[in-house]
Amino acid sequence: MNLFEPHLFRRQFPLIENYDKSLIEKNGLTSSLIYFDNAATTQKPQQVINSQQHYYQRLNANVHRASHQLSSKATFAFENARTLVQNFIGANSVKEIIWTKGATESINIVAQSLARNTLIPGDEVVLCASEHHANIVPWQIVAEQTGAIIKVLPLTNSGYIDIDEIDNIITNNTKFVACAHISNVLGRINPIKEIIAKAKSVGAISLIDGAQAIAHLSIDVQSLECDFYVFSAHKMYGPTGVGVLYGKEEHLERMLPYQGGGEMIKAVSFTQATTFNELPFKFEAGTPNVAGVIAFAESIDFLAPFLADDTNSYNLYEQKLVDHCFHALAKIEQVKFIVDGKPDIGVIAFTLTGHHNQDIATSLDTYGIAIRSGHHCAMPLMAYLNIDGCLRVSLAAYNTIAEIDYFIESLKNILHDAAFETINEQVSKQAGEVRETDPSVNEMDDIISLFSNTKGWDSRHREIMLLGKTLPRLDKALRNENTLISGCESLAWLKAEYNKEGLYTFSADSDAKIIRGLLVIVLAAFNNKTAQQIIEFNINNYFSDLGLMQHLSPSRGNGLLAIVAKIQLLSREN
């Protein structure tokens, strides 16, 4: 019998099992949530959830700093988790395992504690074209601080790091090489052994971002011979706010602390130099995320047996999901994969000819399907591929073939409805017919009245899309850098005018239908108001009145914050 059984594995995740039972009744599904955003974060098994709750109920105490029994128990569980990580990735010593907030902080520690103190002008840092922003920006910052130069490894047409070019990019001037084990967009397992070996041959230090690899591959850092390896707990069924920095002891010993505070010191004095703690505590200033670390130990206990299973049943099932989803998407005429070929793990990126990514993602959300759209924190990769963004389906072992089939059918329905709608619009224009959508629904009270009679996200989504048709399109000449709304993932533009009474009116446009609809809603709230009224207006209360807060929170989602910020900025300038 295989260690991994898909239906038993799935049962361990309460959110997947229990979310929104209405979807089951509505669609006759065997699942209640189609969660295909696992590259962003994975769901948590019950034992991880229970562990965190158990800590606060039974063990809550600070670690390392007290002689009482409760602290001793908490410290034992906390340090046991470190030992589990050491064994999980094959580190030589627990001294090489540093707790961080996540892979991002781990990279920043290496950049600021090591690279900043060793790089000099003219030294080179080599990255890859497909890196996550977390493995780009820290190196850009340290390059600016030190005068170092960033060089970039190109990709093959299939999205792998182009090994044929490494001799031209990694040279004797290279001091650091930082690349992802697996791209968070392309799903390709990069040839990191060759890259690490090349870095070593020129005396460069290697850092591998394992955030996407850690839940899919068995990692042995000693076999890889990398200098640093980083990952986050939340990508491997663990809690958020916990990460790991693995570093060879020789490097960690010579690195200065990243932050100062409690725990990372041996002695502090106003009259003598402060002395720092030994590894690994030198890099762990302040009270750590004790509950998260202890819960992380449970996620390792949960996942490690599947990765180590000789039958490879866990990985084979993941590959079955990848194959099924990739080939089903390939049969849809409008689908265009952003690189050639099937990915190595369940991270599948594509665009749809004639459709905006955000429109597709929000439409799928009305079917209860969660996928990701945008640049996926990989804007340089989007520029490298000459695209504005893409859709990403990312799978985990709790997903099913039935979910993929439902996703494919839903996507086909969305494309069919969009094509039918386009044909109707063309016929209506030719016949000179007036649109059914009432363009007079543009005042705030009208908008609130409209949505107060609309129930459910699918109906509200439909109304937003219909409202988008009432938004007059901006002339192309007005869609420029001056009117561009910075921070909105979909291209959007905003123009302001104000009259002698000091009242503002705004006109706007976007390349995404869903954003055009949201612009109608937002402009209804801000048009014909003074600058002071615009600044004082509570957009969150407005969206709450519309019943949209849970779907489209203005604090972040869909660029709404960027739209409101642009409106407020323009009102201040005049």
| CATH code for position 531 | 3.90.1010.10
Among 414, 429, 448, the domain boundary falls at: 414
Cα distances from 527 to residues 259, 451, 498, 537, in angstroms, run: 47, 19, 10, 12
Question: Which residues span the domain enclosing 67?
Answer: 60-305
Place of tokens 């994975």: 42
Q: Is residue 529 within 8 Å of 503, Cβ to Cβ? A: yes
Amino acid at 501: E
Query: Taking 70 as the threshold, does the pLDDT of residue 574 lie above it?
Result: no
Distance CA 296, CA 77 (A): 11
Q: What pLDDT, on a 0 to 100 scale, did the predictor assign at position 458?
A: 80
pLDDT band, very low/low/confident/very high, at 434 (cuts 50, 70, 90): very low
Chain mean pLDDT for the chain: 90
Q: Is residue 216 within 8 Å of 198, Cβ to Cβ? A: no
Q: What pLDDT, on a 0 to 100 scale, did the predictor assign at position 411?
A: 97
Residue 363 sits at the vertex; the CA angle it makes with 327 and 376, to the nearest 5 degrees, is 70
Same domain? For 322 and 298 the reply is: no
Enter the tokens of residue 366.
Answer: 């009305």
In a domain, 255, yes or no: yes
Same domain? For 266 and 215 the reply is: yes
In a domain, 426, yes or no: no
Enter the tokens of residue 27.
Answer: 């669609």
- Report residue 104 CA to chain centroid gap: 12
Same domain? For 222 and 320 the reply is: no
CB contact set of 378 (below 8 Å; sequence gap of 6+) = 130, 131, 132, 133, 183, 184, 185
CB contact set of 419 (below 8 Å; sequence gap of 6+) = none
Q: Is residue 372 within 8 Å of 392, Cβ to Cβ? A: yes
According to the per-residue pLDDT averaged within each range, which of 65-79, 343-357, 509-523, 536-550 is highest? 343-357
Count of structural domains within the chain: 3
Angle of the 137-146 helix axis to the 103-110 helix axis, nearest 10: 20
Please write the tens of the pLDDT for every residue from 51-89: 999 999 999 998 987 789 999 999 999 999 999 999 999
In a domain, 350, yes or no: yes
Query: Taking 70 as the threshold, does the pLDDT of residue 568 lie above it?
Result: yes
State the SS3 of 434-496: CCCCCCCCCCHHHHHHHHHCCCCHHHHHHHHHHHHCCCCCCCHHHCCCCCECCCCCCCEEEEE
Average pLDDT over residues 120-132: 97
In a domain, 427, yes or no: no
Average pLDDT over residues 421-439: 51
Q: Is residue 193 within 8 Å of 218, Cβ to Cβ? A: no
Same domain? For 384 and 531 the reply is: no
C-alpha closest to that of 518 among 473, 552, 567, 550: 552
In a domain, 192, yes or no: yes
CB contact set of 457 (below 8 Å; sequence gap of 6+) = 365, 366, 551
Q: Is residue 215 within 8 Å of 237, Cβ to Cβ? A: yes
Q: What pLDDT, on a 0 to 100 scale, did the predictor assign at position 28?
A: 47
Same domain? For 447 and 409 the reply is: no
| Torsion angle in degrees (nearest 10) through CA of 457, 463, 466, 470 | -130
Distance CA 560, CA 490 (A): 11
What 8-state DSSP symbol labels residue 63?
A: S
Q: Which residue has the higher pLDDT, 19 or 90?
A: 90
- Report residue 490 CA to chain centroid gap: 16
- Which residues are identified as catalytic? 377
In a domain, 226, yes or no: yes
Same domain? For 243 and 160 the reply is: yes
Query: Taking 80 as the threshold, does the pLDDT of residue 21 lie above it?
Result: no
pLDDT band, very low/low/confident/very high, at 558 (cuts 50, 70, 90): low
Among 277, 305, 333, the domain boundary falls at: 305
State the SS3 of 280-302: CHHHCCCCCCHHHHHHHHHHHHH
Q: How far apart are the first and last CA of the chain?
A: 72
H/E element, 125: strand 124-128
Phi, psi dihedrals of residue 395, rounded to the nearest 5° = -105, 155
Same domain? For 109 and 211 the reply is: yes
Phi, psi dihedrals of residue 100, rounded to the nearest 5° = -135, 180
In a domain, 40, yes or no: no
Same domain? For 286 and 326 the reply is: no
CATH assignment of the domain containing 343 = 3.90.1150.10
Same domain? For 102 and 181 the reply is: yes
Please write the tens of the pLDDT for every residue from 308-353: 998 999 999 999 999 999 999 999 999 999 999 999 999 999 999 9
H/E element, 197: helix 192-201
Q: Is residue 123 within 8 Å of 173, Cβ to Cβ? A: yes
What 8-state DSSP symbol labels residue 102?
A: S
- Report residue 396 CA to chain centroid gap: 15
Classify strands 265-267 and 275-276 as parallel, antiparallel or unpaired: antiparallel
In a domain, 554, yes or no: yes
Same domain? For 216 and 249 the reply is: yes
Same domain? For 78 and 206 the reply is: yes
Enter the tokens of residue 18.
Answer: 């229990």
Q: Is residue 230 within 8 Å of 207, Cβ to Cβ? A: yes
pLDDT band, very low/low/confident/very high, at 420 (cuts 50, 70, 90): low
Q: What pLDDT, on a 0 to 100 scale, did the predictor assign at position 1?
A: 52
Average pLDDT over residues 517-534: 91
Q: What pLDDT, on a 0 to 100 scale, did the predictor assign at position 176?
A: 98
